[in-house]
Structure 1
């Protein structure tokens, strides 16, 4: 999987400071087992579930990815599926996730959460669509960062960075 470059990188520390469009300053709150944390993790896991389904199909149907991802995240995931489609690859099996929310930013209600993960792709392998393991494709643990945003009560992954194998 490719790691997006440029301004799509996540901040190394939680954001805090400038006023939002409502005029309220943003702040980072302690992360606990809250509705916002659960909703953000559900959206993140849902994105991976839909990505797994799309990656297993030789025609890489990606329309369902939009139910859990938007913005840079959706563009990056669709790009991965396009690259695999052009290379004649499918990805079978299941990645192993272990996400955790490391920050929640709020003006008046939770609107954004930062997630870190170490996605294990050992059981999620690339194959040639016409048969056979694509042996030259590395698998292993990949450092993954994501931003999940609540917009009008709907949580979606807005940014995702999937690192190289053995990055975590």
Structure 2
């Protein structure tokens, strides 16, 4: 899988190597990142989800922030419908770090992922919510498995 540049380009035009060990690490981290988003879409689309599946792809602040958001949504008796779209690019790979790290930049498009009442399915989008934003995910390799440990939405940057 070759990296896809976020729509409208990136503030930092460089991408990580796509060949050799760095390329393999980047592709593996990208796969984890995309699986994390699929797990989020599934968890946020159900009223009975506790977010436990997210632990397979994330830890630390990324996991706690996502589970907190899931609880807030559930407490408000809402779910998400549709799916987010992503255009992730591997920006950095450090195989000499301990643990090894990968940084991914993404253009997250949530224009097709909507907050709705869990019972009536009536739209309940918050006013002023962004539909597209740049995000940075930081991943660490633990026991030959990539985990997202930090995810930052750059609300001042659109894509």
Normalised by the length of structure 1, the TM-score is 0.76
Structure 1 residue 85, shift from structure 2 partner: 1.1
For residues 117-157 of structure 1, what are the alpha-carbon distances to aligned partners after superposition, in whole Å with 9 as ceiling and x for unaligned? Answer: 01100111110112211143535102111001111201111
For residues 82-132 of structure 1, what are the alpha-carbon distances to aligned partners after superposition, in whole Å with 9 as ceiling and x for unaligned? Answer: 111111110011111100010111217981000010110011111011221
- Measure the CA separation in 2 of the matches of 1:136 and 1:30: 36
Unaligned 5+ runs, structure 1: 1-12, 14-28
1:136 paired residue among 85, 101, 126: 126
In the other structure, the counterpart of 1:73 is 62
Aligned to 1:60, the other structure's residue is in SS state coil
| 1:153 partnered with 2:120 | no
Normalised by the length of structure 2, the TM-score is 0.80
| 1:95 partnered with 2:81 | no
| 1:107 partnered with 2:93 | no
Report the number of matched residues.
142
- Output the aligned Cα RMSD: 2.5
Aligned to 1:48, the other structure's residue is in SS state helix
| 1:32 partnered with 2:21 | no
Unaligned 5+ runs, structure 2: 1-11
